[in-house]
Amino acid sequence: MSGPVVVEVPTGTAARAVFTTRAGGSSTGALAALNLSADRGDDDAVVRGNRTALCAALGIDPAGVAMARQVHGAGVREVGEGDDAGRFTGALRDWPASDALVTRVPGRALMVLGADCLPVLLWRRDGEGVAAAHAGWRGLVAGVVEGAVDALGTPGRTGAAIGPGIGPCCYPVSDEVRRRFADRFGAAVVRGDAVDLAAAARAALVAAGVDAAAVTTVDACTSCDAARFYSHRRDGEAAGRHAGVVWATGEAA
């Protein structure tokens, strides 16, 4: 097995922001290969192995990785020094429900999962903390991105990266969803019969006070790129999950 293949976004500070792909793990069948979710029918031992391999590749401690039970809402949870220690490669499940996480503890990595929904990663450019949000259409409309920015604080010193998600090329939605996006983020995020989740996330970040120049978007559609990404819209319940991971290194930038 080759190691996990990731996409890293430069932060310009003492933090790292990484998006995983589906390459470089041990899951098989429709979940091949780096499935990071324990709720897709994968073998627990394989999920633990995938998570351990990812941590080794990134140089982070598995015991310090925090996740959430994602519920497509706007809740934000603060992660402290000892919260959920060891669960990432231990019990795997029973995380507290939320769709965004924030921590001010150096070395504590935050992970959000996706398979069309956007992973949005944030970091304070002054080194004061990091945050991660799981942003599907419901979470975006509910304000999960703005909630993560607010919880992290000082948006003018915040950088952000919008990870791979389903693009407007592959995401037709109902008239009602298009209307809600237009009302919430402006007509530019509606593209024919589809909505542009990444454009909406960028609009939410900027509206929350993040400088537009400090926002990076990974240009990739999860539904189009079956070789690199999982997609629920493309593959249904058979889809695995990739992730966004962010942590403050505690070192000088």
The 100-103 sheet, strands edge to edge: 76-79, 100-103, 130-135, 118-124, 158-162, 215-217
In a domain, 122, yes or no: yes
Angle at 77 between CA 131 and CA 157, to 5 degrees: 30
Domain with residue 57: its CATH number is 3.60.140.10
Domain count of the fold of the chain = 1
Q: How far apart are CA 57 and CA 51, in angstroms?
A: 10
Find the domain containing 202 and state its range. 6-248
In a domain, 95, yes or no: yes
**Residue 163 token pair:** 């990870």
Residues 6+ apart with CB under 8 A from 96: 68, 69, 77
* Residue recorded with tokens 């990071």: 36
Query: Phi first, then psi: what are they for 79, rounded to 5°?
Result: -105, 120
Predicted local confidence at residue 86, as pLDDT? 94
In a domain, 128, yes or no: yes
Predicted local confidence at residue 2, as pLDDT? 77
In a domain, 1, yes or no: no
pLDDT in tens, 221-233: 999 999 999 999 9
Predicted local confidence at residue 128, as pLDDT? 85
Write out residues in the chain with pLDDT < 50, as ranges: none
In a domain, 78, yes or no: yes
CB 182 within 8 A of CB 199: no
Predicted local confidence at residue 127, as pLDDT? 84
Exposure class string for 123-152: b at 16+ Cβ within 10 A, else e: bbbebebbbbbbbbbbbbbbbbbbbbbbbb
Q: How far apart are CA 244 and CA 118, in angstroms?
A: 9
For the whole model, what pTM was predicted?
0.98
Predicted local confidence at residue 34, as pLDDT? 98
